[in-house]
């Protein structure tokens, strides 16, 4: 391919623009806030899993308490009913009275055990509720930190995005003055390497920084100024 030395020099300006755009994109992707948000996200996921486990345990304890209440209610009602019949003297048969008194004692024992179990459950519920509150508070701290980081990240994104728009416009202005065929070659190479052209300095391609061998240097030197030559290592257009 033939291209004037002036058009080939324009490729270096285009390459500089591509380098500046790549650096801005890299800064955007590697913002400290982005990495910190990823870390906070992992922490939040872990804390959320911890909270779900604690809330599940709390739900099981509450369900167990409700079951105990369901067992206590009829036992208490039967105790009140039986004790009322005894106190009212409704049971005249000694054997039936003795059986009733034994049932009353059994009910009292059962109710006492259920109430003790309920007290233990209530303490467990209180303790587990406190654990849930503590975990939720930790997640709240993480969420507050994340909100601050998101605001900082978005501000940095807006600044870099504005810079990218400006760089993109400058690049477009540089690209339109490059002949179509030469530009197409540059863009194809740049799609692979990030830039499609590099300066040849002291026998070294400044794109891949590989020094050309003697045979390649002779080839480059022998080529006419308007001949487009490419690095034998990376394939970039060499601007001499």
pLDDT tens readout for residues 24-80: 999 999 999 999 999 999 999 999 999 999 999 999 999 999 999 999 999 999 999
Give the separation between CA 138 and CA 70, rounded to whole angstroms.
Answer: 36
Cβ-proximal residues to 226 (8 Å cutoff; 6+ apart), any chain: 2, 3, 4, 5
Is the domain covering 28-169 a CATH 1.10.287.1490 domain?
A: yes
Give the separation between CA 121 and CA 132, rounded to whole angstroms.
Answer: 16
Give the separation between CA 124 and CA 77, rounded to whole angstroms.
Answer: 27
Sheet holding 237-239, edge to edge: 204-205, 197-201, 237-239, 229-230
Cβ-proximal residues to 164 (8 Å cutoff; 6+ apart), any chain: 21, 24, 25, 28
- The answer to whether the CB of 146 falls within 8 A of the CB of 197 is no
Domain boundaries defined on the chain: 28-169, 196-239
pLDDT tens readout for residues 148-190: 999 999 999 999 999 999 999 999 999 999 999 999 999 999 9
Residue 196 per-residue DSSP state: S
């Amino acid at each position: 391919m033939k291209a004037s030395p002036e058009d080939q020099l324009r490729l270096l300006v285009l390459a500089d623009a591509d380098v500046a755009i790549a650096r801005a994109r890299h800064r955007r992707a590697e913002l400290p806030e982005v990495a910190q948000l990823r870390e906070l996200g992992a922490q939040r996921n872990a804390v959320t899993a911890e909270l779900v486990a604690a809330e599940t345990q709390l739900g099981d304890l509450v369900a167990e308490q409700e079951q105990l209440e369901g067992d206590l209610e009829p036992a208490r009602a039967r105790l009140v009913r039986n004790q009322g019949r005894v106190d009212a003297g409704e049971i005249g048969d000694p054997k039936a009275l003795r059986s009733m008194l034994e049932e009353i004692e059994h009910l009292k024992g059962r109710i006492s055990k259920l109430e003790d179990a309920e007290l233990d459950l209530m303490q467990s519920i209180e303790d587990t509720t406190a654990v849930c509150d503590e975990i939720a508070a930790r997640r709240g701290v993480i969420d507050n930190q994340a909100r601050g980081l998101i605001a900082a990240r978005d501000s940095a994104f807006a600044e870099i995005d504005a810079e990218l728009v400006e760089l993109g416009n400058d690049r477009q202005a540089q690209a339109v003055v490059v002949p179509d065929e030469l530009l197409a070659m540059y863009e194809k190479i740049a799609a692979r390497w990030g830039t499609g052209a590099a300066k040849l300095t002291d026998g070294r391609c400044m794109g891949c920084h590989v020094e050309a061998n003697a045979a390649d240097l002779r080839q480059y030197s022998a080529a006419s100024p308007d001949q487009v030559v490419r690095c034998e290592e990376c394939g970039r257009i060499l601007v001499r």
